Amino acid sequence: MFLVAISGPPGAGKGTQSKLLVQEFGFEYISTGEALRREMAMSTEVGKQIKMLMDQGNLVSDEIVTDIVRDVVKESIEKNARGILFDGYPRTVPQAMLLDEIIEENNIDFIGMIGLEVDENVLINRILLRGKTSGRNDDNEESVKRRLDEYYEKTEPVLDYCKLNGKYFGVDGEGEVDEIHQSINDIIKTYI
């Protein structure tokens, strides 16, 4: 089974590109952001904890997120899926190390991490625009700044970690959605 991860700062277009990749390659898909929003909507004890962190633009704990990811990998293996696409995971170096363990335990073929590269002003504009209709409490100026800080501090080191292993593929995330999709396709198609 193949595994591809898509990363990038908040608003880089991870969700947008993931939908197109799932159509193209028929991979199983997990957005940790969406999975956490679903848990949050259930108002469980964990959901309340998640809401507090996410609304302020903070990352959720590695333990909570990794439990979600492990379940998806297990289900995908049981289904005999062709591949899995991770959207927004791993977002910290400990998550990346846990992912390495999951890959090894399950004999997964990790293609690598696709990193969408987008200028900060473009990101802020996209998120504030999305905030007008998304209903998301973290799509406001204050949370976006916090999310960007979290990204630079905790997620950028993951890109370096993947680069060291020759598993990072940077893609220009500005421009037309279809063009960006094509660039990502070209990378994945050289591996499958």
The residue ranges that bind ligand B4P (CB under 6 A) are 8, 10-16, 31-33, 36, 54, 57, 59-60, 65, 88-89, 91, 95, 126, 130, 138, 147, 177, 180
Nearest distance in Å: CB 163, ligand B4P: 19
Only one residue has tokens 């390659």, namely 25
Nearest distance in Å: CB 191, ligand B4P: 23
Closer by beta carbon to ligand B4P, 177 or else 192: 177
Q: How far apart are CA 1 and CA 108, in angstroms?
A: 5
How does strand 28-31 pair with strand 168-172? Answer: unpaired
Nearest distance in Å: CB 17, ligand B4P: 7
Nearest distance in Å: CB 185, ligand B4P: 15
Closer by beta carbon to ligand B4P, 67 or else 192: 67
Nearest distance in Å: CB 153, ligand B4P: 13
Closer by beta carbon to ligand B4P, 142 or else 192: 142
Q: How far apart are CA 184 and CA 129, in angstroms?
A: 25
Closer by beta carbon to ligand B4P, 9 or else 192: 9
3-class DSSP assignment, residue 116:
strand
Q: How far apart are CA 57 and CA 141, in angstroms?
A: 10
Q: How far apart are CA 37 and CA 24, in angstroms?
A: 25
Nearest distance in Å: CB 8, ligand B4P: 6
Q: How far apart are CA 15 and CA 32, in angstroms?
A: 10
Closer by beta carbon to ligand B4P, 114 or else 147: 147
Chain residue whose CB lies nearest ligand B4P: 33
Closer by beta carbon to ligand B4P, 38 or else 192: 38
192 DSSP 8-state letter: -
Q: How far apart are CA 28 and CA 188, in angstroms?
A: 15
3-class DSSP assignment, residue 4:
strand
Residues sharing a CB contact under 8 Å with residue 17, sequence separation 6 or more, in sequence order: 6, 114, 116, 177, 180, 181, 184
